[in-house]
Structure 1
């Protein structure tokens, strides 16, 4: 049984000492249940860490149950918040419904949803078959749609909610060899903008965060595939990737997480329908 203290327990290391106002200022998301998909690694886990640091109780979702369990243990130890792992495949509607029911049963209705789960695959358009196309659209666009459907009703009824979709600079411009990925991320930004207007008077905000090339396993894997196919060194390929960023570097996952944390704050209520670039100035 989870022995982590409940939300109101003053012994929580995160709540610590001081007045109630002091604690609320230190933990502005205290009492909020946040769901983060794709939370087994990289940007997703960095986001889960940031939300926990702000006081939220966090449900981590991904396909890898073992990785989730490890991450949950880390969050509980580091931030003394309630955290749970709920494995799910976000392209399977019945499993998404079951996962969100389980998350709500444990921690109550989510007030924050971060749609981070996603995949990226590269291929020339001539070799982009229907299977690849559907795979990218299913995970990167339909998955977030299914997750939003599970939380939006309760958020609007309660008069408060934060939905953040992790898109990409590929949702704001085009890149060669990633047609399906660009299409999916453009679609995700379109979904964000439409829902932001539809939910605007309900107290629910919907925004997107658009990272550039980020120091994650996905980018590392892509880099190695390019090395294998082209014969170039990893240093040459990395230099080509970071050349897109005027700062000449990869974005750090924690930088994306900081932006997400800010969007989740009650004080960010007027930020709605935005696509915030975290790319060192690549796109302006």
Structure 2
């Protein structure tokens, strides 16, 4: 895989899947910009891979607009867009208030749309581009107590498929990667929530999530990043409008 001469933007690039994607794209030769909320986490990854770090909170549309302007100023045209930033809250339907629903959609879905709206048309004009939206297996099926999260990730999958048709002849590919449970800080928070609500030990809660995979393990962030990097390669131009599941066979169960 070679991305020499290409510029990539990874949102949520300070930790977890986003940081792994940034590392993989940099290793393939891309110049990488990473965006996220934690300046310290961004700075650490930026130092490691010589990336450009931009603090941005995608729950704030003004901040998203500022990110778009800052990327143009600091790194120029974006060839590869990895929409990874996301939040995952869980609640019963009755406990899912408007604020939770709106925040989930703003970060998980609307920010994806707004970044694509700003960055994909220039890709089409140049005749080359790669968009990878990090969705979730929750964008392909349903899980209990995650109505807002599942709905937002289904929105990402639907948007990915529609946009792929829009740009099919422009030299730009658009795909979604759908991870299952990944060994990240977000999953650790889920483990803590399960333990607190059920009285189980954190070890038992983590084991329950591992059993969701046919391989009986959590996926590593770099495994998701590998799929992302492959989709960004020149030779992946025939992979378009797809949802690539990286979940250790969880959806097969």
Q: Does 1:57 align with 2:25?
A: no
> Map of 1:178-197 to 2, 5 A cutoff?
178-197=146-165
How far, CA to CA, are the matches of 2:7 and 2:241 in structure 1?
Answer: 22
> Map of 1:143-158 to 2, 5 A cutoff?
143-158=111-126
Residue matched to 2:81: 113
Deviation at 1:84, TM superposition (A): 0.5
What is the root-mean-square deviation of aligned Cα atoms in Å? 1.1
Q: Does 1:44 align with 2:18?
A: yes
| TM-superposition CA deviations, 1:119-158 (whole Å, max 9, x none) | 0001111211111111111111011111111201110100
Q: Does 1:69 align with 2:59?
A: no
The structure having more radius of gyration, on CA atoms, is 1
How far, CA to CA, are the matches of 1:267 and 1:171 in structure 2?
Answer: 26
Deviation at 1:108, TM superposition (A): 1.8
> Map of 1:237-256 to 2, 5 A cutoff?
237-256=205-224
Deviation at 1:214, TM superposition (A): 0.5
Residue matched to 1:137: 105
How far, CA to CA, are the matches of 1:189 and 1:182 in structure 2?
Answer: 11
Asked whether the 8 Å contact 1:167–1:208 carries over to 2, the reply is: yes
Which structure 1 segments of 5+ residues have no match? 1-26, 77-82
Asked whether the 8 Å contact 1:113–1:164 carries over to 2, the reply is: yes
Question: TM-score, structure 2 length as denominator?
Answer: 0.97
Asked whether the 8 Å contact 2:133–2:175 carries over to 1, the reply is: yes
How far, CA to CA, are the matches of 2:124 and 2:42 in structure 1?
Answer: 29
Q: Does 1:97 align with 2:97?
A: no
How far, CA to CA, are the matches of 2:226 and 2:34 in structure 1?
Answer: 17
| TM-superposition CA deviations, 1:242-267 (whole Å, max 9, x none) | 11100000000000000000000011
Deviation at 1:104, TM superposition (A): 2.0
Which structure has more relative contact order (CA 8 Å, sep 6+)? It is 2
Asked whether the 8 Å contact 1:64–1:87 carries over to 2, the reply is: yes
Asked whether the 8 Å contact 1:90–1:147 carries over to 2, the reply is: no
Report how many aligned residue pairs link the two structures.
Answer: 252
How far, CA to CA, are the matches of 2:60 and 2:118 in structure 1?
Answer: 13
How far, CA to CA, are the matches of 1:239 and 1:68 in structure 2?
Answer: 30
Deviation at 1:176, TM superposition (A): 0.4
Which structure 2 segments of 5+ residues have no match? none
Residue matched to 1:270: 238
Asked whether the 8 Å contact 1:90–1:146 carries over to 2, the reply is: no
How far, CA to CA, are the matches of 2:114 and 2:58 in structure 1?
Answer: 7
| TM-superposition CA deviations, 1:171-215 (whole Å, max 9, x none) | 000000000000000000000000000010001111000000000
How far, CA to CA, are the matches of 2:59 and 2:116 in structure 1?
Answer: 13
Question: TM-score, structure 1 length as denominator?
Answer: 0.87
Asked whether the 8 Å contact 2:84–2:134 carries over to 1, the reply is: yes
Deviation at 1:281, TM superposition (A): 1.0
SS of match in other structure, 2:250: coil
Range with greater deviation from structure 2 (145-154 or 37-46): 145-154
